[in-house]
Amino acid sequence: MTLTDLERFTVRRSSAEQSRASVLPPVLPPTGHFIGGSFVPGSGTRLIDVVDPSTEQVIASVQAGTASDVDIAVEAAVAAQKSWGATTPKERSEVLSLIANIIEANREAFEIIESANTGKPRSVAEDDVSSTIDTFRFMAGASRTLTSMAGGDYATGHTSVILREPVGVVGVITPWNYPLLMAAWKIAPILAAGNSIVLKPSEQTPLSTLKLAELVAGRIPDGILNVVTGQGRTVGQRLAEHPDVALVALTGSVVSGQAVAETAGRSVKRVHLELGGKAPVVVFPDADLRAAAAGVRNAGFWNAGQDCGAACRVLVHESVAEEFTEHLVREVGTLVVGAPGAGDDVEIGPMISRPHFERVKESLAEAKAAGLQVAIGGSALEGPGYFIEPTVISNVPAGAHIATHEIFGPVVTVESFSTTEEAITRANESPYGLSASVWTRDSSLSLSVPKQLDFGTVWVNAHLVLACEVPWGGFKGSGYGRDLSLYALDDYSRTKHVMINHSA
Ligand code: NAD
């Protein structure tokens, strides 16, 4: 097999960005902080430029929040939480349904903003918005089903009642890869459980969260959802240390999670962490190799591989490694790279920022310098925009750096194994434990292998399929805490035991 025998992926560059420049301004949100139900200017003077990574153009500037902005937002959240926490599940459910309806009625504005701020293809932005709406709808229903252990007489002459309560004010810190959706994964269960929120979006992608704030202002109780924009080391840090924040939830990198956990530990604050991943894709010799390759095409390159669950590290049985790699390279050759406006068939957008683009390029350069085999792609595209070619690196030796650290780009590595035990050991030899997949038609392997894999989600003959009913979250370096499902509602509430003495 040589590269020239294979179809190459397509690159589309267009002037369609100019037309986007005219649709964006009318949908852009206000750029202050959103505190107590209104936009306020903030105490600092510094602004942060927000860049479209497909054009490298500045599309907005937001406030670089300060610790005192956080303090004001927390005060508003504390005040609002008292009455919000006292509402019934039915009342909270109605507010969550209203938020879902508001997003649905404005879905095009959200899609335009999300594509412009992240460079992601419109199809990915559409999926993000649909999943966001579904998250609010699911939590609207789920919040009414929360139960706790039945009350009863567990000590002679005493009746116990178990109450489930909100924790109070929750600080939320979100990443840039799915700005609106990752905010929704936090906002929906946190509000559903009766808490109020101070949310800091990624400084790189604050626009869709600010848009949400703009659209819900005056329609949901003031102060239950506050947004302070700014940097992690100021706004995020203050959220993690503030004495009136009961819990801090972060989706982001391991380094940020460690910083937040360390700070939160000083006030014994609860912490909820959804961190990085490096998902292994274990392909057994009996697997449908074409389906596995198509699965990696979709799940390894969705959102340009900037996904914590991306199918980025293939471990394939040595007897089928060559055949699988051929299928995969052919699949990857059908991908279309370009800016969101360059065509409806674009599937791969840019890296989020120049520093991230440089990091991905460095990983590729390092792999090439180590003599690894680039089966397709392997380079950056000419600018403007931070585009990387969809890349497959084959015949990767065990323990290679590119196969063990998170690249967070359109790069998939292929390693081979000879026994099932080796596949399991090598898959588990990762500091991360977020997700993995197993590809086999053997019913015994499809149960026994997932049970031995140390990952919070294991798919069989699938990868990156999510549903609101089931939990998402990792083990080991991927953090702790669960997003989605009833488990998220558990994480964002607390139980209280009230015991009544009959004879008093
Ligand atoms: P990041 O860690 O750089 O930033 C995430 C957020 O943390 C941002 O809002 C940032 O400002 C903030 N932050 C940074 N340093 C901080 C500090 N010291 N204190 C408080 N807040 C701080 O991550 P990113 O680059 O935005 O996102 C990519 C990372 O997120 C990847 O590692 C990816 O795997 C992970 N991620 C995980 C999941 C999941 O569900 N497990 C989902 C999406 C992304």
State the helix-helix crossing angle for 122-142 and 107-118, rounded to 10 degrees. 120
pLDDT of residue 3: 45
Three-state helix/strand/coil letters over 354-411: HHHHHHHHHHHHHHHHCCCEEEECCCECCCCCCCECCEEEECCCCCCHHHCCCCCCCE
| Known catalytic membership, residue 322 | no
Name 5's Cβ contacts closer than 8 Å, sequence gap at least 6: none
Q: Which atom of ligand 1 is nearest to the CA of 263?
A: 19
One of 17, 274, 389, 415 is an active-site residue; which one?
Answer: 274
Q: Can you point out the beta strands (E) in 302-361?
A: 311-317, 336-338
State which amino acid sits at residue 122: R
Based on its alpha-carbon atoms, the radius of gyration of the chain, rounded to whole angstroms, reads 24
Q: Which atom of ligand 1 is nearest to the CA of 257?
A: 2
* CA-closest residue to ligand 1 atom 26: 175
Q: Are 25 and 52 in contact (CB under 8 A)?
A: no
One of 17, 111, 203, 308 is an active-site residue; which one?
Answer: 308
* CA-closest residue to ligand 1 atom 41: 274
Name 420's Cβ contacts closer than 8 Å, sequence gap at least 6: 284, 445, 449
Q: Are 331 and 294 in contact (CB under 8 A)?
A: yes
CA–centroid distance, residue 10 to ligand 1 (Å): 31
Name 40's Cβ contacts closer than 8 Å, sequence gap at least 6: 32, 33, 34, 72
Q: Are 36 and 225 in contact (CB under 8 A)?
A: no
CA–centroid distance, residue 232 to ligand 1 (Å): 9
Phi and psi at residue 403, in whole multiples of 5°? -95, 0
Q: Which atom of ligand 1 is nearest to the CA of 202?
A: 9
| Known catalytic membership, residue 274 | yes
DSSP state of 236: I
Q: Which atom of ligand 1 is nearest to the CA of 356?
A: 25
What does the alpha-carbon distance between residue 257 and residue 238 come to, in Å, rounded to a whole number? 14
State the residue for tokens 């932005």: 125
Distances (CA, A) of 287 to 279, 437, 462: 18, 12, 12
What does the alpha-carbon distance between residue 82 and residue 72 come to, in Å, rounded to a whole number? 16
* CA-closest residue to ligand 1 atom 12: 232
Strand partners, 388: 380
What does the alpha-carbon distance between residue 478 and residue 465 come to, in Å, rounded to a whole number? 18
pLDDT of residue 19: 53
* CA-closest residue to ligand 1 atom 13: 232
Q: Are 212 and 117 in contact (CB under 8 A)?
A: no
Q: Are 272 and 491 in contact (CB under 8 A)?
A: yes
Name 137's Cβ contacts closer than 8 Å, sequence gap at least 6: 96, 97, 100
Ligand 1: residue of 178, 254, 256 to mutate (most ligand atoms within 8 A of CB) is: 256
Q: Are 170 and 247 in contact (CB under 8 A)?
A: yes
CA–centroid distance, residue 400 to ligand 1 (Å): 25
pLDDT of residue 2: 42
Residue 361 buriedness (CB in 10 A; 0-12 / 13-18 / 19+): middle
* CA-closest residue to ligand 1 atom 28: 252
What does the alpha-carbon distance between residue 189 and residue 303 come to, in Å, rounded to a whole number? 25
Q: Which atom of ligand 1 is nearest to the CA of 178?
A: 43
CA–centroid distance, residue 287 to ligand 1 (Å): 35
Ligand 1 shell residues, CB under 6 Å: 173-177, 182, 200, 202-203, 231-233, 236-237, 240, 250-253, 256, 259-260, 274-277, 308, 406, 408, 434, 474, 478
- Distance from the first to the final alpha carbon of the chain: 84
State the pTM of this model.
0.96
Q: What is the pLDDT along the chain (504 residues), one digit of tens a residue?
A: 444 444 578 888 765 555 566 668 789 999 999 999 999 999 999 999 999 999 999 999 999 999 999 999 999 999 999 999 999 999 999 999 999 999 999 999 999 999 999 999 999 999 999 999 999 999 999 999 988 888 999 999 999 999 999 999 999 999 999 999 999 999 999 999 999 999 999 999 999 999 999 999 999 999 999 999 999 999 999 999 999 999 999 999 999 999 999 999 999 999 999 999 999 999 999 999 999 999 999 999 999 999 999 999 999 999 999 999 999 999 999 999 999 989 899 999 999 999 999 999 999 999 999 999 999 999 999 989 999 999 999 999 999 999 999 999 999 999 999 999 999 999 999 999 999 999 999 999 999 999 999 999 999 999 999 999 999 999 999 999 999 999 999 999 999 999 999 997
CA–centroid distance, residue 176 to ligand 1 (Å): 8
What does the alpha-carbon distance between residue 50 and residue 31 come to, in Å, rounded to a whole number? 11
